[in-house]
Structure 1
Amino acid sequence: MSDSLWVYVGIAVAVLVVVGGVVLGLLRGRGGADERELGAPQVPGAPGPSDADLAPDGAIGTIEHPGEVVEDEPEVLPAPAPTPTVETPEAPAGRLRRLRARLARSNTALGKGLLALLSRGSLDDAAWEEVEDTLLGADLGVQASTELVERLRTRVAVEGTTDEAAVRTMLREELLALVDPSMDRSLADERVGDRPACILVVGVNGTGKTTTVGKLARVLVAEDKDVVLGAADTFRAAAADQLETWGGRVGVPTVRSDRDGADPASVAFDAVKAAAELEADVVLVDTAGRLQNKAGLMDELGKVKRVIEKQSPVDEVLLVLDATTGQNGMRQAEVFSEVVGITGIVLTKLDGTAKGGIVVAVQRALGVPVKLVGLGEGPDDLAPFDPEAFVDAVLD
């Protein structure tokens, strides 16, 4: 055989070997795929699928890489918004019973002092002068104190008794006459025709006026009134926030400006308008505390009332007075009455003081009744004023 023939034979053999190897490789690959598709068992000793390769609890996963299963991410729902808690205020009747004990404690010195003096075996001029001094010390006022002493002297002389029970009866009757239970102490808190009642609340700085408005809202809500608050105190930065917090606790809306220093008359007007649109029973308008000797501030208060009256009559103007100011509060009351026409008094901080005579003094000075009294720091420590309960507490 020639050399060239051997060359051709060698080339043919090499080609056959290469082709055979390729064919064998393809057949082995197809067979492995078939085994995997048919779930053929793994070769003994070969590692099986790991736990990470399997979707838990039969969940269907997405295969991103060989041997890795990525679960579908669960849908995350937003947490439900918390439901605001709306408080149920204490009924006014319950407050009177609870607060009477506090008032009795604060006026113990006045009641006991008077009874001790009047129950003496002998009442001379010096004793009666002591009685009068005790009444003056309780802020009853000079005229009222003199009048009460004269009435008591006459009755003691006529009835000729110093028995403590009899003296107590006489003192109760005369004090009650001074407090005057015949005054109309009801609040203008009922709708008038097709409009809500409008109550304007005024007072000097530091009397607790905004807090009183918030507490009054609770009184009215406890009586099933629909109330709207107007935050017309735009000079004190926190006043509107404070009032809104009070209203929110009992589900009452507050109309306020979104900027400090806004025109208070405009805010008051908007509050009355909103109350009419909401068909509320009553709108309470809080105003900025002001000093009674500042003419500009008092004129502005008059403007607030006039602007409200362009839309609705003002049915009630409540003056908030601090009971501890005593006779100093009389001048305050008189100036406010001249500017906006006071219809009722709210006495705050009557607890902790034996100066309950301020009730008589302020009523006499203005000719308007004390309608509400504050006897504590609690949210329901504002109650309608009851003359008989007040006098009984003084003498308790």
Structure 2
Amino acid sequence: MEHADVVIVGAGIIGLTLARELLPTGASVLVIEKEDAAGLHASGRNSGVLHAGIYYAPGTARAATCLAGNRLMRAYCKERGLPLLESGKVIVASDLAQLDILRALHRRALDAGAEVSLVDEAALRDIEPHARTVEQAIHSPLTAVVEPKAILQSLLDDLAASPRARVRFGVRVEGPAPGRALLTTTGRVEYGVLVNAAGAHADTLAHAHGLGLRYMLVPFKGLYRSLAPEAARLCRGSIYPVPDPDTPFLGVHFTRAVSGRVHLGPTAIPAFGRENYGLLGGLDAEAPKFLWQDALLLARSPVFRRVALSEPRKYLFRHFFADAARLVPELRREHVLPSSKVGIRPQLVDTRTNSLVMDFVTEEAPGQLHVLGAISPAFTCSMALAPLLAEKVQGLARAV
């Protein structure tokens, strides 16, 4: 049996940044993770882009923490000597119809305090010579790229340096136990406060505690391709399309990684497993549940219907390529190579309204904090979100 003042389930970016934030409080912290290492899922499989506060609706937690999180994580990388590419980003319009959305994004970003500017086609050529836009583009100089797994390992090192923190890998939660405790594959774990930061499995753990019952995490698969080395010159930093403002997905885009390799993607294809990275790999007994929920959303949610009817075609190369070539007309089919990079984005759905939830959600009970829907830009936001979550944890601890 193990015990800690705070037990955090999940060693992803939310769990580890929160654990680090709690160290100065004097609380003992135990992080348990079902995998044998950190970063095997969303936190280690994302694009590595640090977003800069452009997309998120005012008043949301994502808007409140994105820009601050960007600055904190860039500073952390510089302090620790971690890979950081401060290459900036452009958002380009493919046609005149997208200009109103582009300009609305620019106004929203300025209102959020982001450092962005509208540039004309000539200025865009100076920033990204091979990108194409219609009349105007957004330039975001604060957008940067990191190596997610290097950051996760650095956070683990921070925790390992503290006598009050422990991280246990290979420990899977099986459910609640009597009292303030969890039953795990390695025995009973007792807590003063439980934090559910289980990522794609967070709704399952919340439901087991009778919380978050109106919410369900529905997986979307993000497939990537990459540019051939001789074509990497086509992208200096990041080149994004104007997104559909009603969805949480940003479309196929170009991102130069800290390694210098340029990735294209991701898609946002409905998946049928929380870890369905392959065509059939990762499918389990939950597949019918996800299929049913997708069918309900297809029938009742116009936003989901747009995604579900447009994204699966990107399994086919010609459709994926067409989306990418709208951003960079010089792109040729032979420039685009297969990639093993793939991720799963667990999208929170409100099953009462059959709508996609566009923000972070937390649910509380005595001695429990459940973090649901920590979707993009959660990696960027994490270091600014952690103090807010730590404050909730401390409040729950005082209430004991």
TM-score (structure 1 length as normaliser): 0.23
Report which of the two has the higher share of helix.
1
Greater strand share, structure number: 2
